[in-house]
Chain A
Amino acid sequence: MEITSSNVRQWSRLGTRGLFGQAVLAIAPDHPDLIVMSADLGGSSGLERFRASFPDQFLNTGIAEQNMIGVAAGVAKEGYNVFVTSFSPFLSLRASEQIRMNLGYMEMNVKAIALGSGVSMGLLGNSHYGLEDVAVMRAIPNLTVVSPADCAEIVQAVKAAAAFEGPMYIRLTSEGINPPVYTEDYDFQIGKAVKVRDGGDLAIVACGSMVHHSLKAAELLAEQGIEAQVINMHTLKPLDEECLSDVLDTVSTLVTVEEHSIIGGLGSAVAEFLAPRRDQTRLLIIGLPDKFVKAGRYGYVLEQEGLVGTAISDKILGFLQS
């Protein structure tokens, strides 16, 4: 799956989950040891074609996420490359202790892919939202946590995950309604943040769907004469501290933006990085509030919670003036 502007346009139409399924299908021939698992959400995870094309490499465990993680660990222990999939809270919260024991403590080579994280489940409501997943997954030792920015980066992340030895949690946000951040091939490495816009006044550090919205915000700020650089922190753990250090050589105001609770996510990770430093960096954390939000269509929830370009730029302006 080559990253070209026409492919990217096509992928955006598939939606996040459809694209994820396509990406897994595309890597399968290069990974004969790949086993993809689902807890009865194969169709909803875009895996129909994979299941039809590689029936021997697809395992449905039934609606039992805790067991699925343990089974995945056993399969991985015998040398398979295992992807487990479900919706964010069912993996990261319902099965969090299984992830802790099997992926964290025993470091089994399992990639847990959380479909529809953040608020992208829209009208399905808070039961299906991934509000706290990064907070929990990030705190588990040995786990790598990744949050791709757009369609192209989902393709990159799936490829990189299949080649990566070790446990990983990947959260997919957005339902593909965002215009792409990337329209041509670029260097994607787990743990290496990417600067997607330059600017000398402040830096916005974003992940997942919020990279796009942060770019929008940066455009609006530029209209006010404020130049914001935008960093795509696609790997939340390990955090790319080298990149952040470089950023702080040029600016002293950081803003984090994430489709996740303001508790425990990207903002917290950046705050943990900043706390022991002896500089005067100011940090604004933008994310979902510490509450169960009123549900609606994806775009509606983002608007309501101020996670769109205009609201983000307004918050940043207010912060700069405060």
Chain B
Amino acid sequence: MAAPTTAERYAPLLLLSAILIVWELLCRGLNVSDYILPSPSSILVALVEYAGPIMTNAWRTFWTTMIGFAISIVVGVALGFLIGSSKFAYSAMYPLMTAFNAVPKAALVPILVVWFGIGAGPAILTAFLISFFPIMVNIATGLATLEPELEDVLRVLGAKRLDVLLKVGLPRSMPYFFASLKVAITLAFVGTTVSEMSASNEGIGQLLLTAGSQSRMPLAFAGLVVIGAMAMAMYELFSYIERHTTAWAHRGQHSS
């Protein structure tokens, strides 16, 4: 893949502008009420008008998500290591993990409220619970798909399991790890927001709920814009780190 051309680089912005213009024109042309679908311009007005409360709530959502996400990196990597390096642990845990992953995390929020009360606790934990799975699976996949020949080469040299894991398994699973972080961070934002909608007095989720119940649609949409922007920014951050630490996995960007 060659370096993106100028056109490719600006393509997302162009598309976004096009959508916004069409949206604005439709809202004005068809005279759509703000209570049904606010136009981009009225969302912008709401963003500016409520900048203070939006910032406060966004900050709250941001740090709860980050704490939850940090926990899920630690737990996801640890579990991934465990099930990726031991067949026994894999067969013991994987079915349970899959079952757990299938449980809608929103359904856990009321339980978390009972345990931790209203506030940051349930939001952090929901963000964690929803986002550790892809990290775990990707680390495990990276470790489990090691070429058997390579393992033989090392074992013949007297390599211990730990040698193989550190010299080969760990670096090998790094691209999988970063790929999973990009998925997991967006999921973590979903988790926090969902939790805040029923179990918090603060955060973008709470703001969305309040705005909705008061039929202040421009404000609700402004909340959506903010959460989308935060998730996108974090996604870009992780893909930046990914490009600069595991360039070898994206061969051809330099030469071939």
- Are these two chains actual partners, yes or no? no
Give chain A's interface residues, CB within 8 Å of chain B.
none
Give chain B's interface residues, CB within 8 Å of chain A.
none
